[in-house]
Chains A and B, each alone.
Chain A
Amino acid sequence: MAIHERSLVDPERVLRKERLVIDGVDVSGDWNLIILPRVINDYDLEFLDEVLQQPEGKTITQCYQCSYCTASCPVHNYWDERYNPRHFIYLARLGLIDELQKRADVMWRCVSCHKCTHRCPKGVLVEEVLKAILRVMAKRGIIEEYPSKKFDKFFLESVYEYGRIEDGELLFGWVEKQGYQVVKDPILKKPIPFVGGVPDWLKQLAAKPLKSMNIGFLVLNAKHMLFHPRTKNWNRFKQVLRKVMEEEGVFTH
């Protein structure tokens, strides 16, 4: 049986097997098609409690779905319809986990511009609340790691190690993390810029400022790439930071 308006039916709800025999009757072919109902059977009300336990999640109960946040969101216009901040809040409040999960891959697209927070008539800290929702989802293991989170982690590791970031290393190290082939120097094991499978758009992006860069600054950058700058007395602070981060549960490794 053909499904009319197939686009309206979620693919995961369509069941069809090549061959199917029920009670000795072969029902393969046209009759062998089941569309699962899309009825919500229950709410997961503990999800909201967990969000409310996050310090950023406190204002979630103030939302009354006016959609000022979504309408002012700069990402919403350029991303697909599933990206909708007030909708995430609604889903989290009712605990409709499967709907949240469907949107897991777009929820990270928030650029933290805080337009939503500034405009919300009820004083919901939308951006913070979204992060709280994501954190609870991550804790429950129902959300995968997404590029922006991977980048955040890489950034954090760099700061944690040296007390500051080094632009070149961040850029080319990130390229390596993304899965591109990067040639490393044999002694310090650091990626050599512009060599290997670095994508062309990145070469162009990096070469543009280099052209107009003053020689002294260029040398400084090269030096920094080889010998990573480090904040003074960082090792002492690192220990304190480590303790705090462990308590907050930032480290998962």
Chain B
Amino acid sequence: MAKSVLVVGGGPAGLAAARTLGKLGIPTILVEKEQKLGGRPVIEDYHTLIPRKMTPQQVIGPFIEEVQNNPNIDVKLGVELEACEGEAPNFKVKLSNGEEHEVAAIVVATGFQHFDAKRKGELGYGIYPDVITNLELEQMFSREGKLYRPSNGQLPKRVAFVFCVGSRDRQLGVTNVHCCRYGCALSGLQGTEIREHYPEVDVFCYYMDVRTYGTWEYPFYWAPQEKHGVRYVRGRIAEITYNPQDGRLRVKHEDTIVQRPAEVPMDLVVLVLGMEPSEGTKKVAKILGLAQDPDSQFLVPAEDAGSNIISNKPGVFIAGACKGPIDIESSLSEGEAAGAEAATFIGAKVSA
């Protein structure tokens, strides 16, 4: 009987699961669609991760190293899960490179993808170069190390963050009604970074709610306002236009506290994107027959399981952003939990 585990996805959750399994001495196959381990944070060059304010290399780097150096883990890059037959603990899986393996358990960590801001046409993304996404702002920090307006390369005088683009929005259908969960905190962090490096730049956050969960409240909501002077305006931006006379954007919104419409000039507008289940998540869900949320298509845990890493199918465990928006810290711990759960499921005896 096969006693190995398949981990689908090489992002934070998948890495953490594989690392735990490898450490327990269980033969593990880690398949990753991209040519690089680390998932979105590494592939898309995030600058600073919430909530510990560390770089992806600092957080995920050690995981990648341990996974690559562990002889129990077989890392397959550029490979996807194509088919799966049989029941636990005898899954027969087929990979895109033609290989077939027998595994006793599967950990699904297929992650998310960023919302496509072009779907919110009124916000002018793709039309005005100075409307960027928070992902692009992260890449601007990490790849170029400076803040500038894409239209003319100069330092913006005012930066506006638009919260909840592609999340909590029924106009996009039922698929995007959930909270993206990281946006408020990340905007606070990005605003703080801007104010720290460029104190002359004014930062505005246009929000409909601020949801900085739990202990994130102080570092990502109060500190930006109290220490760094980030300004929060209640009222979401409805429309972004461009004024050719002064070359600045105009953001149109109603300030719901003052109860007045406003059209304020801005130099750079940052759209805070929501999360959607990745193509891989939808594909794997179909192959393995996992339960999906009827609205958002994210994976959902089994109804009778208290733990949210146990899927509806015995022997299959789900971790990370494939089952809803999640931060990297929790993604790592969920991966570890899923790895440990898979180990106990296959009845591995770990000797000291």
Please list the residues of chain A having a beta carbon within 8 angstroms of any beta carbon in chain B: 38-43, 45, 61-62, 64-65, 87, 90-91, 93-94, 96, 99, 122
On whether A40 and B260 interact (CB within 8 A), knowing A64-B232, A94-B233, the answer reads yes
Is there a chain A Cβ closer than 8 Å to B202's Cβ?
yes
Decide: A90 and B265 in contact? CB cutoff 8 A. no
CA distance A7 to B229 in the complex (A): 37
Question: Cβ of A62 and Cβ of B222 under 8 Å apart?
Answer: yes
Taking the complex as formed, is B87 at the interface, i.e. its CB lies under 8 A from any CB of chain A?
Answer: no
CB nearest to A98 among chain B residues? B260
Jot down 23 A-B pairs with beta carbons below 8 A, ordered by A: A39-B262, A39-B263, A40-B255, A40-B258, A40-B261, A40-B262, A40-B264, A41-B263, A61-B225, A61-B226, A64-B225, A65-B257, A87-B257, A87-B258, A90-B257, A93-B231, A94-B233, A94-B255, A94-B258, A96-B255, A96-B258, A99-B260, A122-B222
Residues of chain B with a CB closer than 8 A to A41's CB: 262-264
In the bound complex, residues from chain B placing their C-beta under 8 Å from that of A90 are: 257-258
Whether, in the assembled complex, B23 has its beta carbon less than 8 Å from a beta carbon of chain A, the answer is no
- Chain B residues lying within 8 Å of A62, measured Cβ to Cβ, are 222, 225-226
Q: Which residues of chain A have C-beta atoms less than 8 A from B229's C-beta?
A: 61
Given contacts A64-B232, A94-B233, contact A40 B257 (CB under 8 A): no
If A61-B229, A62-B222 touch, does A38 touch B260 (CB 8 Å cutoff)?
A: yes
**B260:A91 contact, CB within 8 angstroms:** no
B265 touches A42 (CB 8 A): yes
Count of chain B residues with a beta carbon within 8 Å of a chain A beta carbon: 19
Report the number of A-B residue pairs with Cβ-Cβ less than 8 Å.
48
- Given that A40-B263, A40-B264, A42-B265 are known contacts, is A91 also in contact with B258, CB under 8 Å in the complex? yes
Partner of A43, one of B221, B234, B260, B264: B264
* Residues of B contacting A: mostly: strand
CB distance from B70 to the nearest CB of A (A): 47
Tell me, rounded to whole Å, the shortest Cβ–Cβ distance linking B232 to chain A: 7
**Chain A residues within 8 Å of B222, by CB:** 62, 64, 122
A99 to chain B, nearest CB (A): 6
B-side contacts of A122, CB under 8 Å: 222
> Which A residues touch B255, using CB under 8 A?
40, 94, 96
Expressed in whole angstroms, the Cα–Cα distance for A87 and B226 within the complex equals 18
**Closest CB-CB distance, B333 to chain A, in whole Å?**
30
The 6 residue pairs across chains A and B that have the minimum distance between CB atoms:
A40-B262, A39-B261, A61-B226, A90-B257, A39-B263, A62-B226
Q: Which residues of B contact A65 (CB under 8 A)?
A: 234, 257
Interfacial chain B residues near A99, Cβ < 8 Å: 258, 260
The smallest beta-carbon distance between A92 and chain B, in angstroms, is: 12
For residue B263, which residues in chain A have a CB less than 8 angstroms away from its CB? 39-41
Q: Are A45 and B257 neighbours in the complex by a CB distance under 8 Å?
A: no
Q: What's the Cα separation between A94 and B253 when bound, in Å?
A: 14
Contacts of B234 in A (CB 8 A): 65
Contacts of B231 in A (CB 8 A): 93-94
Report the bound CA distance from A99 to B265 in whole Å.
19
Closest to A61 in B: B226
Q: In the bound complex, how far is the Cα of B258 from the Cα of A43, in angstroms?
A: 13
| Residue interface bits B219-254, CB-to-A below 8 A is 1, else 0 | 001100110010111100000000000000000000
CA–CA, A39 and B255, complex, Å: 10
Interface residues of B in 285-336 (CB under 8 A from A): none
CA distance A87 to B258 in the complex (A): 8
